[in-house]
Amino acid sequence: MNFSKQIKNEILNLNWTKKEQQILFYISLSLLIQNKKDLFFTRKIKNEDLFKFIFTNLKKLNQKNYYIKFIKKDQKIFIDKNFFDDLKYKFLSIEEEILNNKNLYQITVAAIFLIKGSISNYDAKNNYLEIRLNKINNEEIYRIFCKINNKLSFKFNFSDKNNFFYLKKAIYISDFLKYIKTTDSLIDFEENRIIKEMNLNLKRAEVIEKFNKEKIINNSLKQIEAIKLVLKDQKKFNKLTEGQIKLAKLRLDYKDSSLEDLKYYFYLNYQKNISKSTVNNWLKKIKEIADNLN
């Protein structure tokens, strides 16, 4: 199951109030309508839980016995256009009720996401949530969503070119899932986000470690070359202090070691503590002497 479907199924199975269930149904059905000019509306609903929800509520609502046919095998519905004329008038009163009651904002946003929303899966590189609302076909619901969006703490961005609302930041997506009460999906999202961040940090650490190793090796090769040049010239060699000579020998023995490691080996071999900066300064001094050979 993809993550979008998981969230939508959670929306359908939450314990909404009777009024919230009513709004969930009316908004869902209104958004499912694509062509309102045909005599009959036909729609295949891929999500089994959504099909059951629409099926159950349509049967309850069809008191005037409009022609409504369900094909469970294909999850299709056929609905008389006159039914939608009645639905439109009903929705006008619901729209006013939503805008006058902030407590109904959550179910409204949840219902809109149920039909028009999608979110990237757990394994996607980037987090992304979008809601595709057609301003022309869904004018009333589009207007409601815009008004609610202006009052949210995690405002959706809007793409004029592609005509959709979207969220990219993980923290805003978490806020959205919390807002529409999909707690289980929120927990799953956060767990996977943490895992992705940990893996990303691990990869960064590996890259840094690799870079540091390469840097140590490159510096070591230059230092070893300098030491060998100094050892060939007795006059220059005599310019080295006793400590620098000891360090030079350690560098030749431990070619891939870091400055910190050389400091440790110096203590092990000569029972004398020196700082990391001292190791660095001595090796620089050796290189300076070597460079002056030419």
Among 51-55, 163-167, 174-178, which is the least confidently predicted range? 51-55
Residue 41 predicted with pLDDT over 70: no
Core vs surface per residue 201-227: b (16+ CB within 10 A) or e = eeeeeeeeeeeeeeebeeebeebeebb
In a domain? residue 56 = yes
Q: Are 256 and 224 in contact (CB under 8 A)?
A: no
pLDDT at 238: 86
**Are 162 and 260 members of one domain?**
no
**Are 226 and 113 members of one domain?**
no
pLDDT at 237: 84
**Are 43 and 110 members of one domain?**
yes
How far is it, in rounded angstroms, from Cα 137 to Cα 144?
14
**Are 10 and 75 members of one domain?**
yes
In a domain? residue 202 = no
How far is it, in rounded angstroms, from Cα 186 to Cα 175?
9
**Are 174 and 222 members of one domain?**
no
In a domain? residue 199 = no
How far is it, in rounded angstroms, from Cα 56 to Cα 45?
14
**Are 111 and 251 members of one domain?**
no
Q: Are 177 and 7 in contact (CB under 8 A)?
A: yes
pLDDT band with cut points at 50, 70 and 90 for residue 24: very high
**Are 223 and 277 members of one domain?**
yes
Backbone φ, ψ for residue 114 (5° rounding): -55, -40
Residue 134 predicted with pLDDT over 70: yes
pLDDT at 91: 66
Average pLDDT over residues 100-124: 91
Average pLDDT over residues 7-34: 89
How far is it, in rounded angstroms, from Cα 242 to Cα 223?
17
pLDDT at 31: 86
Q: Are 106 and 179 in contact (CB under 8 A)?
A: yes
pLDDT at 16: 93
Average pLDDT over residues 12-38: 82
In a domain? residue 63 = yes
Q: Which of 161, 181, 201 is the last residue of a domain?
A: 181
**Are 165 and 90 members of one domain?**
yes
How far is it, in rounded angstroms, from Cα 24 to Cα 22?
5
**Are 119 and 263 members of one domain?**
no
| Residue 90 buriedness (CB in 10 A; 0-12 / 13-18 / 19+) | middle
Does the reported pTM lie above 0.75? no
Average pLDDT over residues 114-139: 88
Residue 152 predicted with pLDDT over 70: yes
pLDDT at 34: 58
Domain with 99 in it: what CATH number? Answer: 3.10.28.10
**Are 45 and 169 members of one domain?**
yes
The DSSP code for 155 is P
DSSP strand E in 88-207: where?
117-119, 129-131, 157-159, 164-167
In a domain? residue 193 = no
**Are 272 and 177 members of one domain?**
no
Residue 76 predicted with pLDDT over 60: yes
pLDDT at 124: 83
Helix (H, G, I), strand (E, B) or coil at 256: coil
In a domain? residue 99 = yes
**Are 16 and 151 members of one domain?**
yes
In a domain? residue 252 = yes
Q: Provide the domain count of the chain.
A: 2
pLDDT band with cut points at 50, 70 and 90 for residue 236: confident
Structure tokens at 268: 């092990």
Q: Which domain holds residue 223?
A: 214-291
Looking from the CA of 115 toward its CB, the CA atoms found within 13 Å total: 27
In a domain? residue 171 = yes
